[in-house]
Structure 1
Amino acid sequence: MNIGEEIVASYLEYIKDCDFVQKNLYTKDVQGEIDVVGINLKINEAYICESTTHLTTGLLYVGRDYKNNNIQKLFDKFSKDIDYAEKYLPNYQKHYMLWSPIVKDNKTTRDNSQIYQLSIVKGMIYDKYGINLELIINETYQDCLKELREYAKKETKALQSPILRYMQIEEYLSKHIMNLKK
């Protein structure tokens, strides 16, 4: 289980109301996989998501030379994702998303700033495909977790998502303990 992919899948299923959610979708035409794909049939939307959960280093991919490779790696991943989705999901409004909880901003060296690197990747994707890559990072990622927690807090049935079930147990336990103290 990849916890980052579980969070994305739960968000797509419970918050974006996707009818189908697939983790680790292996692409037919090129080697590799898409971390999470969600399809909402009611509104004809598809969510194509990459998830990276690096905590202490933030968003960091390294190449064979052990140097930062974020720009090329993410551009290649999303190029593959876009080519796949355009071919196999042509009639859907598509949202391309990068989910990463911790993306650092090195204010002293712009080249080492992960935030700056993502702005380069966004620009490259837009220039090549005319697509605005959605970044679910830092505060936005935290906001999505809050949305999931709010959903879990209000739901009484046992939720199938391990992430939401955990949040649900936490919320109901907190409420129960408060009632015990009254």
Structure 2
Amino acid sequence: MQNPGEELVGEYLKHILGCDFVEYNLYTPNIQGEIDVVGINIKAKEVYICEVATHLITGLQYVKNNQPDNIERFYKKFVKNIRHVEECFPNHKARFMLWSPIVKDQSSNAKHNQRRDIKTIQDQILTEFGVEIEPIVNQKYLKCLSELRSYARNETKELKSPIMRLFQIEEYLLKHIERLER
């Protein structure tokens, strides 16, 4: 079952990027593991491969043996994801994304810096595989949420996703209250 962070990403893939199919926690049998969210746009022959980390207090912070593990963890995940796409979607344009609402940017001299971790992951994957990882973090994440809210505001049919339905209720309620207060 997907978590709310993964559902937001899936809804963005459906409603904003036009994916026909979205799968959550896709098990990759030939390469052990799973991918958080995968979206497929059939007409455009695009596949979106998304890793999602929704940590609100600590930001993007994974730990292994009491040490930060962002770089190794996401490097391994994206290598696995790239191999899966090469095997299962050889004729599709692939977009690899890392979604995280809060990524802290500690000082440049800090031993651990979440923004720097993402840059390191991007550089390693680009150098080794020629693949770009698109971070959807902080302001860009907020922009994507705004796009989903705008979609919900303008949609008249009932949206099936609980998160999208909540956005729709909030947006329609705001319109209603504005009319009442005029």
Alignment TM-score, normalising by the size of structure 2: 0.97
* Structure 1: runs of 5+ lacking an equivalent: none
Cross-structure match for 2:80: 80
Cross-structure match for 2:53: 52
Secondary structure of 1:111's aligned partner: coil
Cross-structure match for 2:29: 28
One-letter code aligned to 1:19: D
Deviation >2 Å, runs of 4+:
108-111
Secondary structure of 2:179's aligned partner: helix
Q: How many residues align?
A: 181
Secondary structure of 1:55's aligned partner: coil
State whether residues 100 and 136 of structure 1, in contact with CA within 8 Å, keep that contact through their aligned partners in structure 2: yes
Cross-structure match for 1:69: 69
State whether residues 13 and 19 of structure 1, in contact with CA within 8 Å, keep that contact through their aligned partners in structure 2: yes
1:102-117 map, 5 Å: 102-107=102-107, 109-117=109-117
* Structure 2: runs of 5+ lacking an equivalent: none
State the identity as a percent.
50
**How big is the shift at 1:31?**
2.0
**1:119–1:108: structure 2 CA closer, same or farther, 3 Å change rule?**
closer
One-letter code aligned to 1:96: F
Secondary structure of 1:18's aligned partner: coil
Secondary structure of 1:112's aligned partner: coil
Cross-structure match for 2:147: 147
Secondary structure of 1:57's aligned partner: coil
Give the distance between the partners of 1:108 and 1:118, measured in 2 at CA.
14
State whether residues 98 and 134 of structure 1, in contact with CA within 8 Å, keep that contact through their aligned partners in structure 2: yes
Cross-structure match for 2:172: 172
Deviations 1:32-73 (A, max 9, x none): 10000000011110000000000110001101x111011000
**How big is the shift at 1:110?**
3.8
